[in-house]
Amino acid sequence: MSNENIQYQEDDPNFQNLNDYQEEKEEEYVSNESFDSSTSTSVISWITWYCSLPGHEFFIEVPEEFIEDEFNLYGLRAIVPMYEEALDMILDLDDENPPPSSDLPKIERSAELLYGLIHQRFILTKLGLSLMKLKHKEARFGVCPRVYCYYSPVLPCGMTDIPGKVNVKLYCPRCGDLYTPKLKKYKNIDGAYFGTTFPHLFFLTFPELLPKNSLANPVDYELEEKNELQANEENNNENENENENENINEEDKEKNEERTYDIYTPKIFGFKIHETSQSGQRMKWLRWREGYKSKIEEIKTLPDVYTDD
Amino acid sequence: MEVSSGSDYTRYWLEYFLSIQGHELFCEVEESYILDRFNLTGLNTEVEHFHYALQLITDSLEEDIEDANLRHEIEKSAVKLYGLIHARYIITNRGLARMVEKFRRGDFGKCPRVLCQRQHVLPVGLTDVPFQKSVRLYCPRCEDIYFSSNKKHNCIDGAFFGTTFPHLLLQVYPQFIPIRTQERYVPKIFGFKIHAIAEQHRKQDEVYKENMKRIEAVPEE
Ligand SMILES: [Zn+2]
Ligand SMILES: [Zn+2]
């Protein structure tokens, strides 16, 4: 991703700087009693509380052992203001000399930033990846909004690793594209808390979780067809009863949807719009991939009558 | 909602219909269009209780329908009838003009694809046959179709918009065709490209070049 691509995202009106975003959240959850997390009376840990807030469903709980290891926090002290106090808050440690309560909003903001940056690092570790895998398996991050991705589960993804720039996006491994989360509550979540590397390291670690026909793993349709023919012949040789055949057909249907990869073709009164027309297709390359073959037979091109001139 | 133009009285049924959540995708079909029987050719066989339904949507239902079941069926038919008339109307010049205004305002929503930069989308059907598939959204920038982020749209019939509408609109109003770029999302791990995906991107670029060559080969008129 080039810098230019990221630039325009920064003036995304859905995303304010961290300060605005904190204020908005305070308003939103002001009725939430557990918001006053700084008091040591709360029974649940700060991390559990933080990850259970509405909109924070994409986060996983980073184990305290990971945070207590100074090595994992290397370099964060320079980025996070009131680092010590923020770290104490995250780990629910009581200070002998508690900071003045006027500092609390600042510390809360810092704790959030610090936790986000630790989270970005943790989800790239073996344990972090496997915890995210559990969420992915239940499609807890949602599914791709693209119709022809057939509800492929997505993963949270940042467009930059620098906090306070771009809100979280969703990466679909099937079309290899980025999407804006559809629920408003995710629009104020910082993408840097997930980072640019996470979804891609995820599929490098768990290649078996890549969908059947993903951009990184396109289906070779010719080979598929050959295999299918062979399988069919074998099936025909065995004299199966009809009921069983029906079951197989149902299974085949499901498999087909998994394997199918379609590209949308705009049509006017059933005719494909001529390529050279001003409104003709220019973006077919975007969804194209090796081995792609439209199952729909070549549709007649729109006659000249309808092309604009 | 659109202010009804051309009619000097309230259209009660239509107002109610357009006020339902999710129905902001529909435009107001002119009454004169509905009352012209020529525009409704064939719909009397497609819609049950056609005459009652037509009377209902034009606020001219005179009989009191006592039977609750029948009343309910007529209400259902009215929605179907209005939807099918709508599908025909929005591909007429006047219908397109109303819809392009809604498109400009962003009434239909925005493309979820990050690189489309909140491009306004258009409603589209996957089929022209009613009660098959719910409405989808067509983005003229990436030329792809998406599910709406508004749950209410999942129960709106795509055939009430049809397969032709967004493409005809862009052909009639080419000034609304956005600039289509070669921008794409490039996945990276610690700043490094992923080989398998980079390979597909390279081949996509070839498809793009071939496409452009064919377009440029056509002599300008
Ligand atoms: Zn997708
Ligand atoms: Zn788009």
pLDDT digits (tens, 9 = 90+) for A226-256: 776 777 666 665 544 444 444 445 555 555 5
Residue A307, pLDDT > 60, answer: no
User: Cβ of B167 and A266 within 8 Å?
Assistant: yes
Ligand index nearest the alpha carbon of residue B139: 2
Name the 3-class secondary structure at A21: helix
Mean pLDDT, range B61-70, rounded to an integer:
86
Pick the CATH number of B12-176 from 3.30.70.1380, 2.40.50.100, 2.20.25.20, 3.40.640.10: 2.20.25.20
Nearest-CB residue to A286 (from B142, B145, B214):
B142
Q: Give ranges for CATH 2.20.25.20 in chain A.
A: 3-33+44-209
pLDDT tens string A69-119: 999 999 999 999 999 999 999 999 987 777 888 889 999 999 999 999 999
Domain A3-33+44-209, CATH: 2.20.25.20
Between CA A44 and CA A26 the distance in angstroms is: 19
Residue A303: band (very low, low, confident or very high) from pLDDT cuts 50, 70, 90:
very low
Within 206-225 of A, beta carbons closer than 8 Å to B belong to 215-218
User: Cβ of B138 and A273 within 8 Å?
Assistant: no
Greater pLDDT, A290 or A129: A129
What does the pLDDT read at residue A51?
A: 96
Ligand index nearest the alpha carbon of residue B110: 2
What is the maximum span of chain B, computed from C-alpha positions, in angstroms? Answer: 73
- Which tokens in the block code for residue A238? 């065995």
Q: Does B146 touch chain A (CB under 8 A)?
A: yes
Q: How many helices (H) and strands (E) does chain A have?
A: 11, 5
What is the pTM (predicted TM-score) of this model?
A: 0.82
User: Cβ of A171 and B187 within 8 Å?
Assistant: yes
What does the pLDDT read at residue A34?
A: 43
User: Cβ of B146 and A146 within 8 Å?
Assistant: yes
Residues within 5 Å of ion ligand 2, judged at the Cβ atom: B 111, 113, 116, 139, 141-142
Cα A82 to ligand 2 centre (Å)? 42
Nearest-CB residue to A1 (from B142, B166, B185):
B185
Between CA A24 and CA A46 the distance in angstroms is: 20
Domain boundaries, chain B: 12-176
Are A175 and A261 within 8 A, CB to CB? no
What does the pLDDT read at residue B46?
A: 94
| Weakest mean pLDDT among A8-17, A33-42, B149-158 | A8-17
Q: In what order do the strands lie in the sheet with A155-157?
A: A155-157, A169-172, A177-179
Residue A279, pLDDT > 80, answer: yes
What does the pLDDT read at residue A100?
A: 83
Residue A13, pLDDT > 50, answer: no
Angle at A128 between CA A122 and CA A129, to 5 degrees: 125
